[in-house]
Structure 1
Amino acid sequence: MSESIRPGLEFVYEAGGALGAPIAIGDTPDGTRRIIPIFSGPVEGPRIRGKLIGSGADWQVTRSDGVTVADATYAMETDDGVVIQIRNRGLRHGPAEVMQRLARGEEVDPADYYFRTIPEFIAPIGKYDWLNRSVFVCTGARYANAIRLWVWRVT
């Protein structure tokens, strides 16, 4: 394989957001569903700065194999006033005792579990339309009342 076709990663930003109390939907044919409200928090990175804006949510399902499938839709407002929509889908899982500690709201080292997502951006034409033309990957950390995300562009 030629090194020229090997993808790389370019760090884009780190974001943090406050989370609301989970809203239980309950057991469904595909797993246990709940909604996690996402509120504001900072966005800081070399190519983009701003804040997450409220009224977003993660519509999660936890499958019978213990894997939580995240499907979050929220928005950010850049420090120059541009609003960008984000849909972030991915997986979170780990050893049962680690996931139980997370569920109890305990502080858990993000290295102890797998939390990876694929954010998709809808940015207006202009300064940030480069977000519409790339693939991104994200690592995450879940805390009792907050979330932290690190986003990279695949080059």
Structure 2
Amino acid sequence: MTQTPQPPALVHAGTLSVLIGDPIDVGPTPEGHRRIIPITGGTVSGPRLNGRVLPGGADFQILHTPELSQLDARYAVETEDGAIISVDNAAIRSGSAEALGRIARGEPVDPGEIYFRCAPRLRSSAPQWDWVNRTLFVGTGERHPDRVVVHVFAVG
């Protein structure tokens, strides 16, 4: 007897508030318009992840069309107990050309206007954080003028 597959549960691990600097506009390339967004700090808080986003990372973006962007953010989080977690976050952001244009100009945009989904990969060498190495995560994002908010969920 075949049963209907059930989707996995999602458990909120934490919310990252990632502070960003001014974009570095690389310009149009054969793959699309490229931008690099410096990551300057931030916080992480939630039921399983708490700490701070360390400065020095960046979000490498490809603006494929006026309605679609591919994001690849790489940075580190220092947990409350001093462990370091590496974050590689691949994302897709889509919406109207007008709304994405406002984001590109650093203007506020209602998160409801944008589809922003991601697959963060977390890694740590700290034994107490080994569970992040063995867990798949997904998330939703919100772009604000000075930061990106990412709600991270562990896939059960």
**Corresponding position of 1:51:** 52
Q: Is the 8 A contact 2:66 2:97 kept in 1?
A: no
Cα shift at 1:119: 0.4
**Corresponding position of 2:113:** 112
**Corresponding position of 2:99:** 98
Cα shift at 1:110: 0.8
Query: What SS is found at the alignment partner of 2:54?
Result: strand
Separation in structure 2 between the aligned mates of residue 65 and residue 110 of structure 1, nearest angstrom? 17
Separation in structure 2 between the aligned mates of residue 26 and residue 48 of structure 1, nearest angstrom? 36
CA RMSD of aligned residues (A): 1.6
The one-letter code matched in structure 2 to 1:148 is: V
The one-letter code matched in structure 2 to 1:18 is: L
Separation in structure 1 between the aligned mates of residue 3 and residue 153 of structure 2, nearest angstrom? 22
Identity %: 40
Query: What SS is found at the alignment partner of 2:102?
Result: helix
**If the length of structure 2 is used for normalisation, what is the TM-score?**
0.93
Q: Is the 8 A contact 2:83 2:126 kept in 1?
A: no
1:84–1:30 Cα change, 3 Å: same
Cα shift at 1:21: 0.6
Separation in structure 1 between the aligned mates of residue 78 and residue 4 of structure 2, nearest angstrom? 37
Cα shift at 1:8: 0.9
Q: Is the 8 A contact 2:73 2:90 kept in 1?
A: yes
Separation in structure 1 between the aligned mates of residue 66 and residue 147 of structure 2, nearest angstrom? 25
What is the CA deviation profile of residues 113-145 of structure 1, one whole-angstrom value per residue up to 9, with x for unaligned ones?
Answer: 111110001111411111111111011111112
Separation in structure 2 between the aligned mates of residue 3 and residue 50 of structure 1, nearest angstrom? 40
The one-letter code matched in structure 2 to 1:94 is: G
Q: Is residue 23 from structure 1 mapped to residue 28 from structure 2 by the alignment?
A: no
The one-letter code matched in structure 1 to 2:55 is: G
What is the CA deviation profile of residues 51-74 of structure 1, one whole-angstrom value per residue up to 9, with x for unaligned ones?
Answer: 100100011111136311001110
Unaligned segments of structure 1, at least 5 residues: none
How many residues are paired up?
A: 155
Query: What SS is found at the alignment partner of 2:65?
Result: coil
**If the length of structure 1 is used for normalisation, what is the TM-score?**
0.93
Separation in structure 2 between the aligned mates of residue 27 and residue 102 of structure 1, nearest angstrom? 18
Q: Is residue 8 from structure 1 mapped to residue 1 from structure 2 by the alignment?
A: no
Query: What SS is found at the alignment partner of 2:127?
Result: coil
**Corresponding position of 1:142:** 143
The one-letter code matched in structure 1 to 2:105 is: R
